[in-house]
Amino acid sequence: MADFLAARERMVERQIAARGISGGRILDAFRAVPREQFVPEHVQEFAYEDSPLPIEADQTISQPYIVALMLEAAELEGSDKVLEVGAGSGYAAAILSQIVDEVIAIERQPELAQLAGNRMASLGYENVSIYEGDGSRGFPEKGPFEAIIVSASGSHVPEILLQQLTVGGRLLMPVGEPHEVQKLLKVVRTGDDEYEQEELGAVRFVPLIGAHAWNEQGRPSDPCPLPDLIRDAAEPLPDFDDPAFGALFDRFADARVVLLGEASHGTSEFYRARAAISKRLIEEHGFNIVAVEADWPDAASIDRYVRGRQGREGEEAPFQRFPTWMWRNTDVDAFVRWMKRHNDACGQEEMAGFYGLDLYNLGGSIRAVIDYLDDVDPEAASVARERYGCLQPYAKNPQGYGRMAMTRGFAQCEQPVVQMLRELLQKRYEYVGEDGDEYLDAAANARLVKNAEAYYRVMYHGAAESWNLRDTHMFETLCQLLEAKGPESKAIVWAHNSHIGNAAATEMGQIRDELNIGQLCKDRFKHEARLIGFGTHTGTVAAATDWDDPMEVKKVRPSLAGSYERMSHDSGVERFLLDLREGQNEQLSQALLEPRLERFIGVIYRPMTERWSHYAQAVLPQQFDAWVWFDETKAVTPLPGPQLPGEDETYPFGL
């Protein structure tokens, strides 16, 4: 006959204590609970093996160490009331009964719930209550709980469970695909709507089946169901050429800044939608700035065309460097030509301009500042040539300056470019008299050179620092445009969702310490900044596999189960607008508050790795004021012409 007492002691010492579990009450609880009583008779001899074991209803009992790991991470106190989701045989609930005052355990399998209840009664665990039901819903009637232990893996951490924690309460739950390696998460409720999350390592659990987890087919369920709420709130979008399309966005026209996103840099519907919205805001609501995620010198060439200003002698054609298709495509071309026709019918003060916010074209900006000063102040131009001479060797390879600065340990060119911008700003009133637009252009280019010097200098110190410098530069450039155009000016921004959605509501801000132009606009302009995100389920996209690789038309994989994109697809509405502003569609907004995956495709798209390379967690109604959806999309059509090598993009996927 097996010596279960000795085997239990060996289990505690070798499998649990030896792996770092040191809590005395936890170790004593494992010594006190007879695991052999929680498995079928034919496997009792293996009860203290270092592995999961099969139990009734084709389920398993977890490896003892994993149970101990979760209980230690839960930081249990004797007075706690604990909810266990997925009671199974009742073993973990029995362990818990030795540590805390009260245990509520839920099991969806009737057979297991009955067996576990019988064991609690026969073994005398009077502070444990076993219930049959959907554990993914929790047990609100019995809450709140100081701790929730979920003994099965879900597609996400359900918001309904988090709401049943006390402030300071801890939730432990595996999250990941069924039958795959999952990650064990610890979530601590730090305030009414504030949580901190920690990842504790890789685990394998059976799937959690329920309304807030997986369904029987291994697909995410939804409590609302969320696709139905989206369907009810969705406002179908007409054709792009229908005036009703743009009119749907009149509700945002009271803003000072409307930021229009995109889920990729190579999707035609995103460009066409932004064009239709922008036309409406310009024609009907007085918006006079279109500021895009493009380099200032390239966009300035377009601006001179659309506002009928004289081009510069010897100026390069814009947007020739990788990725050319991002701006040299038929959709942007059509919008630029529309701007030209619109402005031709306006007075100078009513014209809308086209401006770049980004900072990559270092060489073009240096040339633009010197060319401007050659016209208005030849002596200052000579000084500029000398100061910018420090950066000139790196104009074609600016990342080389970053490597040099890191190696030498100092910023060789910082002081000259800062001084150049300072003096240009000091002479503002002297220069503006010559031509205000040309001065604005020169000042923006000087600011770009200063910020680009810092950008390439910090790019080797970490993605967050360089990303933040870049988006801060874009925000500052936008603010300078609004100031230069006067208090009545209003701007439309075209940029990727990763730039215009509030970073504080995504992994960018919560984990990587990154900010973006959307967050900065919200902080400064509050409700006068409206952030509109875009999404798609499948179709084609123009993208490259790696930086400077040729453009390809790639198939976009169907969106991942449980993602915001999949919820939008499952609504069954092909094209729609969701208004996520406060006070609008409150039931939907509440349902969307549960963090979900969201897809980000830049100029780089790698379908084979897209879960890790193109998805991040976000909270959609805190990220955007509105969500524009096109279920199936197609790639942009590039304009003909050669493509020159681009400057290295530091953000991994070319956003």
CATH of the domain at 471: 1.20.1440
Task: Please report whether residue 504 resides in a domain.
Answer: no
- Give me the pLDDT at residue 335, please: 97
Percent of the chain scoring above 90 in pLDDT: 56
Q: Is 97 labeled as catalytic in the residue annotation?
A: no
Task: Give which of 475, 477, 471 is closest to 514, Cα–Cα.
Answer: 471
Cis before 558 (ω within 30): no
Q: Which residue has the higher pLDDT, 389 or 171?
A: 171
Angle of CA points 145, 150, 154, to nearest 5°: 125
pLDDT at 455 over 70: no
Q: Domain for residue 286, yes or no?
A: no
The answer to whether residue 485 scores a pLDDT higher than 70 is yes
Query: Predicted confidence band at 644 (pLDDT cuts at 50, 70, 90)?
Result: low
- Look at residue 309 in the predicted model and tell me its pLDDT: 84
564 sits in which H/E element:
helix 564-570
Q: What is the pLDDT of residues 180-237, one digit of tens each?
A: 889 999 999 998 778 899 999 888 888 888 877 877 666 666 545 788 899 999 999 9
Range of the domain at 97: 4-203
Within a domain: 618: no
With respect to residue 364, please indicate whether it lies within any of the assigned structural domains: yes
**Nearest 10 degrees: CA dihedral of 49, 170, 182, 160?**
120
- Look-up: residue for tokens 């509105």? 626
Percent of the chain with pLDDT over 70: 80
174 or 414, greater pLDDT: 174
**What band does 394 get if pLDDT is binned at 50, 70 and 90?**
very low
**Mean pLDDT score of the chain, rounded to an integer?**
85
143 pLDDT band, cuts 50/70/90, is: confident
Give the pLDDT band (50/70/90) at residue 20.
very high
How far apart CA 38 and CA 67 sit, in angstroms, is 14
Question: How many CB atoms sit inside 10 A of residue 546's CB?
Answer: 9
Alpha helices, DSSP H, located in 391-489: 398-408, 414-426, 428-432, 436-458, 463-485
- Give the count of domains, the chain: 2
Are the CB atoms for 30 and 64 separated by under 8 Å? yes
Mean pLDDT of 428-446: 65
| pLDDT score recorded for residue 103 | 96
- 290 in a structural domain: no
pLDDT tens for each residue of 67-78: 999 999 999 999
Q: How far apart are the first and last CA of the chain?
A: 66
Which of 203, 225, 248 corresponds to the end of one domain? 203
Q: Look at residue 412 and give its three-state secondary structure.
A: coil
Per the CB < 8 A criterion, the answer to whether 590 and 252 are in contact is no
Q: Which of 21-35, 204-218, 443-457 has the highest mean pLDDT?
A: 21-35
In a domain, 408, yes or no: yes
pLDDT at 424 (0 to 100): 57
pLDDT over threshold 50, residue 507: yes
Q: What is the identity of the amino acid at 196?
A: E
Per-residue pLDDT tens over the stretch 115-133:
999 999 999 999 999 999 8
Q: Is the pLDDT assigned to residue 495 strictly greater than 90?
A: yes
Tell me the C-alpha distance between 548 and 33, whole Å.
62
Question: Is 299 within the bounds of a domain?
Answer: no
pLDDT at residue 173, as a whole number:
95
The CATH number covering residue 171 comes to 3.40.50.150
Q: Give the tens place of pLDDT for each residue, 369-378.
A: 566 666 667 7
Of the candidates 332, 341, 290, 624, the residue with the CA atom closest to the CA atom of residue 489: 290
Which one from 62, 153, 155, 466 is the annotated catalytic residue? 62
In a domain, 86, yes or no: yes
- The distance of Cα 344 from the centroid of its chain, to the nearest Å, equals 40
* pLDDT at residue 243 is higher than 80: yes
Q: Residue 449 has what pLDDT?
A: 63
The model's pLDDT over 246-271, given as tens digits with 9 standing for 90+, comes to: 999 999 999 999 999 999 999 999 99
pLDDT of residue 452: 59
- For residue 307, pLDDT beyond 70: yes
Q: What is the mean pLDDT of residues 510-528?
A: 94
SS3 565: helix
Out of 178, 203, 228, a domain closes at 203
- Retrieve residue 647's tokens: 């400057």
Mean pLDDT of 609-630: 93
Among the candidates 448, 463, 488, a domain finishes at 488
Q: Residue 406: what pLDDT?
A: 43
Average pLDDT over residues 343-368: 80
Structure confidence at residue 536 (pLDDT) = 98
